Amino acid sequence: MNLTALDQIAKAVLYEGYMLYPYRPSAVKNQHRWNFGVLYPKSYSDAQDGTDAWTMQTECLIQSGPLTELEVRIRFLHLMERSEEGGEGNSSWQEAVEREVRLPAITVWELTEPLIHEFSFPAHETKEPAVTTRGIVLRRQEAIRGAVEISAVQSGDEIVKVRIRVRNQTRLDMTPAATRDLALMRSLASNHTLLGLQDGAFVSLLDPPDGLRDLAGGCQNVGTWPVLVGDEGQRDTMISSPIILYDYPQIAPESAGDLFDGTEIDEILSLRIMTLTDEEKKEIRRSDERARQILKRTENVPAEQLMKLHGVLRGMRPLKEDSE
């Protein structure tokens, strides 16, 4: 995999919408979070008539030979309930821990039968002094279980269609107390799939070659969409994202760090953060570590760095002269 390019994009996908401006828990928009790529327990999904998914499916085409190897990784956020005792912090807040499930490399032409890889992460609790108050912070995670199923079918000369299904297999007893927040603690949030090839090439589903357009159009992607990652023209790495992306997405080099908003509005958000009141900043500092980092970075941003966000022109080409 082209991990250098992939990690930047994957990180942006992972934390898209994690916490939005004004980056304080009391803001309305931060009361209903985790809207992208969430795989809930099946029992909760069934109770919602399937509107909240418990599975995700990626299908893509590979131009492969007898030695082509496929590497698959699944990344998601494992939520953590944070509460504070004896201080003035927020009584409850959901943080997150990054998780990665890495499958062994697979020779594509040996995928004659579906390969199932199960994974799990145990329940976990911690207790520690609060950073900005005199209270005690309690953090708790529920156990989660899941599975990745990989299958492949030959779709033409040296063309293989690969399917990757991710399932949340965590148990959740559906009682009147089984709220969305309770289900989220047993969910895979911001789930996405990373794919890499050795001795092979992915086919762009957005702009496939003429001879492969029908095959590409037959790929069924559910809750996610695979795009090429890396330098223009590279075809050995893909990310299958629950957020709409185009082939070869990039993070603007002017971006100084995460703002949890992938719409390239760093300047606006930075300026808005600078206008927060002292009380708003106080709430941010005592709530979420990632939000504290945003506030600290923005308050200390050099003037020259802020000016770089003001406007950048890229990809300019000279106008063609009128042939007449």
Distance between CA 300 and CA 218 in Å, rounded? 50
Q: Give the CA angle between residues 268, 272, 277 to the nearest 5°.
A: 175
Domain ranges for the chain: 3-250
| pLDDT tens-digit profile, the chain (324 residues) | 677 778 888 888 888 888 888 888 888 888 888 889 999 999 999 999 989 999 999 999 999 988 999 999 999 999 999 888 776 655 678 899 999 999 999 999 888 899 999 999 999 999 988 776 677 889 999 999 999 999 999 887 789 999 999 999 999 998 877 889 899 999 999 999 999 999 999 999 999 999 999 999 999 999 999 999 999 999 999 999 999 899 999 876 666 667 776 655 677 777 788 888 898 888 888 778 888 888 888 887 767 666 666 666 666 666 665 544
Residues 6+ away with beta carbon under 8 Å from 312: 252, 254
Give residue for tokens 């969305």.
Answer: 180
Residue 49 CB burial class (10 angstroms; 0-12, 13-18, ≥19): exposed
Distance between CA 162 and CA 222 in Å, rounded? 14
Give residue for tokens 């807040």.
Answer: 93
What's the predicted TM-score (pTM) here? 0.86
Task: Give the pair of three-digit tokens for residue 56.
Answer: 């995700």
pLDDT of residue 291: 85
Residue 169 C-alpha from the chain's centroid: 20
DSSP 195-260: EEEEEEEEPPSSS--GGGHHHHHT---BS-EEEE-SSTT--SEEEEESS---SS----TT--S--S
**Dihedral sign, Cα of residue 128, residue 134, residue 135, residue 140:** negative
pLDDT of residue 324: 47
Q: Which amino acid is at 148?
A: V
Residue 308 CB burial class (10 angstroms; 0-12, 13-18, ≥19): middle
pLDDT of residue 145: 97
* Beta-strand relationship, 136-141 and 124-129: antiparallel
pLDDT of residue 75: 96
pLDDT of residue 283: 85
User: How many helices (H) and strands (E) would you count in the chain?
Assistant: 8, 11
Ramachandran quadrant class, 223 (left: phi over 0; alpha: psi -120 to 50; beta: rest): left
**Is 147 in contact with 118 (CB distance < 8 Å)?**
yes
